[in-house]
Amino acid sequence: MSYYTTLQVSVFEPETFEVESIAPQIREHLDTYGISHDVLEDVREAFRSGESLVKVHGGYVVSLMDWIHQHAPELDFCARGWGEWPDDIWIRSYNKSGIGLEAGPFDLSAQRSGTRVAPSGWLTQALTKDGRGVFVRPIYKKVLVGVILAVVLLIAFSYVGGHV
């Protein structure tokens, strides 16, 4: 999941909602998790203008929207967000009776990990794009390690054979 999250908020009822009405509680909530108060400013902006860039993980933004709904249950609103990765998306629709729509956040990296190699050492780091294992599949890694091992053993036996 991404660190930067674009947050969109649409308030349906009441037509206007001032985040200031629960700002002290939001500050306490942010302090509990060690999150900067800049996030409060980002949330204010999203509720005021409809969109803001929030500089925290999308999963935390979702939990903050859930928290706002719990502390302002009269508020009907929809929040959606997306991060830097295409699969880092989510949406929530809140109303007086609870959460009406809930989807995401999605993290498809677990599905991708079946075809990618996690960085495991200097060799993998050196042979892959920025150490994420994008271009080295597990079978190629095994073959490459085998070839390197064979070359090292060949050199070692050549050296030992020449000095005996």
Predicted local distance difference test score (pLDDT) of residue 2: 53
Beta carbons within 10 angstroms of residue 43's beta carbon: 23
Predicted local distance difference test score (pLDDT) of residue 162: 60
Mean pLDDT of 90-118: 72
CA distance 82 to 54: 10
* pLDDT of 87 strictly over 80: no
* pLDDT of 132 strictly over 60: no
* pLDDT of 123 strictly over 50: no
* pLDDT of 113 strictly over 70: no
> Which of the four pLDDT bands, split at 50, 70 and 90, describes residue 18?
confident
Mean pLDDT of 117-128: 44
Predicted local distance difference test score (pLDDT) of residue 59: 86
> Which of the four pLDDT bands, split at 50, 70 and 90, describes residue 67?
very high
CA distances to 16, 17, 50, 98, 163 from 74, rounded to whole Å, are: 12, 10, 19, 10, 86
DSSP string, the chain: --SSEEEEEEEEESS---GGGGHHHHHHHHHHTT--THHHHHHHHHHHHSEEEE-S-HHHHHHHHHHHHHH-TT-EEEEEEE-SSTT-EEEEEEETTEEEEEE----THHHHTTTS----SHHHHHHSGGGS-SS--HHHHHHHHHHHHHHHHHHHHHHHHHT-
Mean pLDDT of 122-133: 45
* pLDDT of 88 strictly over 60: yes
* pLDDT of 19 strictly over 80: yes
> Which of the four pLDDT bands, split at 50, 70 and 90, describes residue 158?
confident
- pTM here is 0.64
